[in-house]
Amino acid sequence: STILLYDERKYFSIGKPVANTQIYILDEFMELVPIGVRGKLYISGAGLARGYLNREELTNEKFISNPFISGQKMYDTGDLASWLADGNIEFLGRKDSQVKIRGFRIELGEIESAILEYPGVTQVVVDARNINDDKVLVAYMAADNLDKSLLRSFLEGKLPDYMVPSFYVEIDAVPLTPNGKVDRKALPEVSGADIIRKEYVAARSKEEKILVSVWQDVLKRENISVKDSFYNLGGDSIKTIQIVSRLKQQGYSLKIQQILRVPVLEDLAKYVALSTRDIDQSLILGEVKLTPIQHYFFNDRAFKTHHHYNQSVVLKSREVLDMQIISKSITALLGHHDALRMVYKSEQGVWKQFNEGLPEHDFAVDFYDFQDQDNAEDLMAEKGGELQSSFNLGEGPLFKAAHFRLKDGDRVALIIHHLVVDGVSWRILLEDFSAVYQQYLSGVKANLPLKTDSFQRWSSLQQEYALSDKLQAEKPYWESLSSEAIASFPVDKAVSGINSKLDSSISFALDSGITEMLQTQIHGVYSTEINDILLTGLGLALQDVFGLDRSVIKVEGHGREDIVEDTDISRTVGWFTSVYPFVLSVSGSDSLNALVAVKESLRKIP
């Protein structure tokens, strides 16, 4: 379907469409992508086959209607590609070769292309393997006189950390199936000798020895050197929480950001300190002062239904789950994370928050067996909707769960009212839920990490901070911001009243290549951060479409800043989100000057 006049290229080009053939590269919404943007490749035209022989279902799946030429079909190749400026097409791998590791979606073909650029490598396959219960990237290579350490250094200069393989295995040739595809099942197993490590240096100080012990436990690695990097051993943001928790249990303190910013063990050990404060581990009861975000929720007219404002996740299991253990596990979470036992009562128009005690019985989990139902997912969504609408702030619990059994595995739906949970809290709860379930399944008592400061203590300290001289010094900044005159958005038709309706929405997604550039490759010149770039882009778009040089946007933060000394809320569950206004100004400047202006405005925020 394509033809290429071969020359020496730094990329894997498959050429241009041949005569009477149409090639489309489309995003997930079936829209055409511009030059340089990744998408899925579709083929149409005179040479297109009618379908797969005697495989009607697969034919219907892969041969679809061409949205650009009426009455024609186009073929979904499953390949990922992008247009080059010269009209050629760059092949970027297979859609089905995407994997998710450490929270990142990774295209294995991109890594393979980078490895093939290294001198001496003739063939390569990158695979995702489960090693010590951890999914890692493994590179299998056929090469002459390969120095694996130099190869890894080469890749570290071309790829983000999360895309650099952890293991490197030399093979004579890539195994193939009879139809010429890579036979991944025939690839050899991985051993400890295949991991690329810095020179081994044993731990010397007490802090280094403690860190080595904790890293070995969390990262499931042996013989960790003080020269090793947290990222190179498979570390990610979730594992930082586990490391901090285990250090706390041994009487030491370390911050999550310190691990992320100082990943080499011997350097990180300098930040390990004795934990000098004992945090109250008893059950929290009684009134809890509302935090600013909770006040906003109850007093802003945008929130019309207080009882129904929930967040939820659905967990899928490869194994049959035990409903009684699910119930016991959630009961343990309710006992450990005090905010999950909150209730809310309106007294003379004023909402108040109370921490209730432990329930008398194990948490109730609804069970539904949909194994024999063809519309199981629709039924699951229906039951989930019923649970979502069943919350009562005054009675609690503000936590609902359901256990679904489908043909392809069990699911657990966890639904929690937003008043007691946020994004960081979910990460903590899911880790603890998994840990407690496994503990009960193994017949041992639930054992969760020590609690950090309670939401009750945090909300009280936050109110004290609101009256402090430090915060009062910020008042002129916010008063000045509030007094700025900002033009309203132009409208096609004037509306009266305050009622509004969200009729439709449009969204778009950045591909992994652009995202990786935003995160790592474009900040050196102006010392920017990703928010600086994205907000400048938004400001320039508003200027281009609506003619607005200045606009006000609402910015959200995680709300867990170190504003109160000697307070630790790293493992505290609750709604901590902060919300504040920001004047986005790009007036009278080109894009680079706009970027600098937006960056400086963001840095001025107290």
| CA–CA dist 172, 143 (Å, integer) | 8
> Helix or strand or coil: residue 170?
strand
- Residue 129 pLDDT exceeds 90: no
The token pair that represents 387 in the structure block = 């649970």
Amino acid identity of residue 304, one-letter, is K
Mean pLDDT for the chain overall: 86
> 241: Cβ–Cβ under 8 A, 6 or more apart, which residues?
256, 427, 428, 431, 570, 571
According to the model, what pLDDT value does residue 496 have?
67
Q: Which amino acid is at 166?
A: S
pLDDT of 7 strictly over 60: no
* Residue 196's pLDDT band (cuts 50, 70, 90): low
**What are the tens digits of pLDDT across the range 357-373?**
998 889 999 999 999 99
pTM metric for this prediction: 0.61
Work out the average pLDDT over 122-143: 85
pLDDT band per the 50, 70, 90 thresholds, residue 391: very high
- CA dist., res. 7 & res. 25, Å (int): 23
Q: 299: closest CA among 346, 341, 355, 343?
A: 346
* pLDDT at residue number 9: 47
E strand or H helix that includes residue 148: helix 148-156
Three-state DSSP state, 74: strand
Mean pLDDT confidence for 452-478: 91
CA-CA-CA-CA torsion for 437, 376, 426, 340, nearest 10 degrees? -70
Q: Above 70 in pLDDT, residue 297?
A: yes
If you average pLDDT over each of 301-305, 474-478, 523-527, which comes out highest? 474-478
- Which distant-in-sequence residues (6+ apart) come within 8 Å of 285 by Cβ? 355, 356, 357
- The domains located in the chain, with CATH, are 2-94 (2.30.38.10), 102-194 (3.30.300.30), 206-274 (1.10.1200.10), 286-451 (3.30.559.10), 459-491+504-603 (3.30.559.30)
Partner residues linked to 413 by β-bridges: 314, 402
Per-residue pLDDT band for 535 (boundaries 50, 70, 90) equals: very high
Distance CA 332, CA 358 (A): 10
pLDDT attached to residue 193: 57
CA distance 460 to 571: 18
Cβ-based neighbours of 251, under 8 Å, separated by 6 or more: 274, 275
Give me the percent of the chain exceeding a pLDDT of 70: 90
Which among 281, 227, 225, 219 is positioned nearest to 249, based on CA atoms? Answer: 281
Q: Phi, psi at residue 131, to the nearest 5°?
A: -125, 120
CB 235 within 8 A of CB 246: no
Cis peptide before 119 (omega within 30 of 0): no
Q: How far apart are CA 569 and CA 460, in angstroms?
A: 13
H/E element holding 379? Answer: helix 376-388
Rounded distance, CA 134 to CA 291, Å?
38
pLDDT over threshold 80, residue 495: no
